[in-house]
Amino acid sequence: MNKLRGDNYTEVTEFILVGFSHQPKSQIIFFCIFLHLYLGTVVGNILIIMVVWKEPRLHTPMYFFLCNLSFVDLCSTTTNVPLALVNCLRDCPTIPYNDCYAQMTISLFCGITECCLLAIMAYDRFIAISNPLHYTLIMTMRACFQITATMWISNFLLALLPVVTVPVRFCAGRNVVNHFVCEVEAVLKLVCSDTTVSEILMWLSSFFILPLPFLFILLSYIRIVVAILKIPSTAGRRKAFSTCGSHLTVVTIYYGTLISIYLKPQNKDRKDQDKIIFIFYGIVSPMMNPLIYTLRNKDVIGALRKAAGKTTQVRLSV
């Protein structure tokens, strides 16, 4: 719905989300896929947070950052997926103007935060491998809390800046978003007013999302490889590499999908392909993170078995 304000501009009160509406027979399939992926994401990430919180052996910087990563994944998927589920069952899915901008801001915030967390986790692994004797002195829990608190606050302000500070105006009838969520690029295509400042601020935010953290991760792993090659024993080198395997897998999946979305030529023929890639980035990747860290981590597996054993004992006693 639009309210006329003169000069061919309107005050947009809601957006229409196109999604996959040109394939109505497939809507129920998308609903089932989204629902199963979302439930898997919620259960997996909550399980990681609970296990780390309850198991004293996991009260270390690495698992502290992992809990933050799981929480970010929960926030990210909960921001987008429930609305996508509802829209799969509607003939003309819409979203209010304010809700759309809130969704964009939270999604941008979660994206920046996850990139920063992956960079911090790479630095944590570098310190653990290159300087193990001083690791507990450098990566104290107090330092971890300070790092994450600074990251959460600064990233929120950074995400809020390009979306809120610059007012935009929409032309009459241009409120149809060619996506199943309020994705930033899809919404900005509808703006009729000058978007130069918004694009500059968005570019600055993108710099903190992609190149800067990725460069930090790359440099950290170069130094990690150099440190591992200095380890004399083959078993020691293998153990050191294994501590980085889960994180490196998550980084590869996450940045691979991000790069395929934002660092490729834009054309009309790839719109549906972009949506599918966004599903992998926004839904599949957060669901896979707990699986990757669980399947490749003996400490987490042991904590899960311990928790399952206690639950079984409680049920038998009852």
Q: How far apart are CA 38 and CA 82, in angstroms?
A: 8
Q: Which two tokens stand for residue 171?
A: 């032309």
Q: How far apart are CA 152 and CA 305, in angstroms?
A: 32
Give the dihedral of Cα atoms 172, 176, 182, 187; nearest 10 deg: -50
- Sorted by sequence, the CB contacts under 8 Å of residue 281 that are 6+ apart come out as 254, 257, 258, 261
What confidence score (pLDDT) does residue 168 get? 66
pLDDT < 70 positions in the chain: 1-12, 20-25, 162-168, 171-173, 193-199, 201-202, 204-209, 261-274, 295-296, 307-318
What confidence score (pLDDT) does residue 122 get? 93
What confidence score (pLDDT) does residue 259 get? 75
What confidence score (pLDDT) does residue 218 get? 92
- Sorted by sequence, the CB contacts under 8 Å of residue 138 that are 6+ apart come out as 127, 131
Q: How far apart are CA 195 and CA 50, in angstroms?
A: 44
CA geometry: angle 294, 134, 295, nearest 5 deg: 5
What confidence score (pLDDT) does residue 146 get? 93
What confidence score (pLDDT) does residue 198 get? 66
What confidence score (pLDDT) does residue 163 get? 63
CATH fold for domain 2-317:
Rhopdopsin 7-helix transmembrane proteins (1.20.1070)
3-class DSSP assignment, residue 152: helix
What confidence score (pLDDT) does residue 20 get? 64
What confidence score (pLDDT) does residue 34 get? 84
